[in-house]
């Protein structure tokens, strides 16, 4: 299948139109026309090769909502015209203990990333959702529930599941005390989802300017992390803290906020962190953990939950040709809270 999109051609070049081929459908494949694609901070990191494993040209995008246009001969769950979604993975071994448990994100063989990965069979590099079409294994295609706004749902496929998964893993529900560090794309979803699960939610921020936003998103309060007195009074006050900060930072100010057996989960920063003291960990039997995205079953659960609770990310819609401007604004945190590309704005003439 010939298709077109926008790709990074090198770490220092802007994204530009790109024509390429998607694979022919295998028996268990689904082909879809992409309607909307979210813009994730990971897209920017990959385009710039910040993590050191990018190849070029590379088409970013792993928050995908689309319409099925063709299915393979063995596909039973979907048919042409269905609205579906694709997240950060398009394949895995499907045989290891983690895949069998529905946690393909932890596949022992390594899952196949929507972009920045390599096809399980051919070894060809995968390309993402800043494009008109995508082909994906049926098992990694998600059903869009009735009533969920397609134009706003795309960020649920990464920002949503990245924050929902730790909330579920650590059993958040009514009575849980949850802190959220950072109020960007991930943080605002963590707040909405924790509130939806019935938790008491506090946003931790260095700036009091975020208080109105935090309360508007449903948080119960804002805790000013730059205020030593307020932080001291909040000691041992949280069962779970979700750390969404996407850059290197220290954990020492936050660890004393955890109650006994409390957990701070890192979901934002990929790479080195500042050195942390073990004293609050040892004295409070506290934990620091990391969490990637969730599996396919959990992601479907998230979509259904959001449809039931009417939880959607706050989005700003852009055209495909505005992506480089969006990247620049994202670096300055100048977005509330997630960009979504309307793929109807992508024309073959550009490519």
> Whose CA is closest to 268, among 162, 116, 160, 128?
162
| Beta strand residue intervals within the chain, DSSP E | 2-7, 16-21, 29-39, 64-71, 83-86, 89-91, 112-113, 133-137, 142-143, 177-181, 200-205, 221-224, 238-243, 258-266, 287-290, 315-318, 338-342
Taking the C-alpha atoms of residue 293 and residue 106, their distance in angstroms, rounded to an integer, is 9
CATH of 2-158+314-345, one of 3.90.1150.10, 3.90.180.10, 3.10.310.50, 3.40.1350.10: 3.90.180.10
**Which residues sit opposite 290 in a β-bridge?**
266
Would you give per-residue pLDDT tens digits along the chain (351 residues)? 899 999 999 999 999 999 999 999 999 999 999 999 999 999 999 999 999 999 999 999 999 999 999 999 999 999 999 999 999 999 999 999 999 999 999 999 999 999 999 999 999 999 999 999 999 999 999 999 999 999 999 999 999 999 999 999 999 999 999 999 999 999 999 999 999 999 999 999 998 999 999 999 999 999 999 999 999 999 999 999 999 999 999 999 999 999 999 999 999 999 999 999 999 999 999 999 999 999 999 999 999 999 999 999 999 999 999 999 999 999 998 998 999 999 999 987 665
Q: What is the reported pLDDT for 349?
A: 67
Residues composing the chain = 351
* Bond from prior residue into 57 cis (ω within 30 degrees of 0): yes
Taking the C-alpha atoms of residue 189 and residue 195, their distance in angstroms, rounded to an integer, is 10
Parts of the chain belonging to CATH 3.40.50.720:
160-290
Q: What is the pTM of this model?
A: 0.95
Is the CATH code 3.40.50.720 the one for domain 160-290? yes
Taking the C-alpha atoms of residue 293 and residue 56, their distance in angstroms, rounded to an integer, is 25
Give 196-261 as a 3 state SS string.
Answer: HCCCEEEEEECCHHHHHHHHHCCCCEEEECCCHHHHHHCCCCEEEEEECCCCCCCCCCCHHHEEEE
Q: What is the pLDDT of residues 44-94, one digit of tens each?
A: 999 999 999 999 999 999 999 999 999 999 999 999 999 999 999 999 999
* Bond from prior residue into 266 cis (ω within 30 degrees of 0): no
Taking the C-alpha atoms of residue 250 and residue 247, their distance in angstroms, rounded to an integer, is 10
Cβ(124)–Cβ(330) below 8 Å: no
Q: What is the pLDDT of residues 185-202, one digit of tens each?
A: 999 999 999 999 999 999
Q: What is the reported pLDDT for 350?
A: 63
Cα 171 to chain center, whole Å? 20
- Output the six-digit token pair for 229: 């007195």
Parts of the chain belonging to CATH 3.90.180.10:
2-158+314-345
């Amino acid at each position: 299948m010939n298709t077109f999109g926008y790709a990074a051609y090198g770490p220092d070049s802007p994204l530009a139109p790109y024509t390429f081929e998607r694979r022919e459908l295998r028996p268990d494949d689904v082909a879809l026309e992409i309607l909307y694609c979210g813009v994730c901070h990971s897209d920017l990191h990959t385009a710039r090769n910040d993590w050191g494993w990018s190849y070029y040209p590379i088409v970013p995008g792993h928050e995908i909502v689309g319409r099925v246009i063709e299915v393979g001969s063995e596909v039973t769950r979907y048919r042409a015209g269905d609205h579906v979604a694709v997240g950060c993975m398009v394949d895995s071994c499907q045989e290891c203990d983690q895949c069998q448990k529905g946690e393909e994100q932890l596949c022992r063989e390594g899952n196949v990333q929507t972009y920045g990965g390599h096809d399980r069979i051919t070894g060809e590099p995968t390309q993402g959702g800043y494009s008109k079409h995508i082909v994906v294994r049926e098992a990694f295609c998600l059903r869009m529930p009735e009533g969920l706004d397609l134009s706003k749902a795309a960020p649920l496929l990464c920002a949503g599941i990245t924050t929902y998964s730790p909330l579920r893993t650590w059993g958040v529900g009514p009575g849980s005390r949850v802190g959220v560090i950072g109020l960007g794309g991930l943080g605002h979803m963590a707040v909405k989802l924790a509130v939806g699960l019935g938790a008491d939610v506090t946003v931790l921020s260095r700036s009091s300017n975020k208080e109105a936003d935090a309360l508007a998103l449903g948080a119960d309060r804002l805790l000013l992390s730059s205020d030593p007195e307020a932080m001291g009074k909040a000691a041992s006050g949280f069962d779970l803290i979700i750390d969404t900060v996407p850059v290197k930072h220290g954990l020492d100010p936050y660890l004393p906020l955890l109650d006994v057996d409390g957990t701070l989960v890192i979901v934002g920063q990929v790479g080195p962190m500042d050195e942390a003291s073990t004293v609050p960990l040892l004295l409070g039997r506290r934990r620091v953990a990391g969490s990637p995205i969730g599996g396919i079953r959990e992601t479907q659960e998230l979509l259904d939950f959001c449809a039931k609770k009417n939880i959607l990310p706050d989005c700003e819609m852009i055209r495909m040709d505005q992506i480089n401007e969006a990247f620049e604004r994202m670096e300055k945190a100048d977005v509330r809270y997630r960009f979504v590309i309307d793929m109807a704005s992508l024309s073959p003439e550009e490519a």
